[in-house]
Chains A and B, each alone.
Chain A
């Protein structure tokens, strides 16, 4: 079993299963904070999946996409929490 087969048939299904679990929490989540956490972890898992794909295909340009995803995850979490905190603040 080569490295590509191992990554393709064992690692990627485990990562896909964890994405399914995170999406379950994203849909169910009791408060909106749970949904934001689930979104953050979803993008973080996406960075991991992009890393595994870049090993499988042998192309390092996929890592640029992972970098942009990391930036967007941080920015979206900060913006969401800023506005959630600001929503019920009175002068």
Chain B
């Protein structure tokens, strides 16, 4: 699986956007992406890509697209 496929799978499984375009997915835009969902998402991404995000990046991780930019800073190319 490519990094992008892994990334997409985590978002799809977690937030189940029912075919909603992943590019449109933002924090609080779906019920499951609340603060509980957010910490779960971060933990899963960290484990999957073997990285540790800084607190500021966890806060800035406000959307599917923004998340890609943040992971890039940790050397994860999607």
- Is chain B a partner of chain A in the same complex? no
Which residues of B are interface residues toward A (Cβ below 8 A)?
none
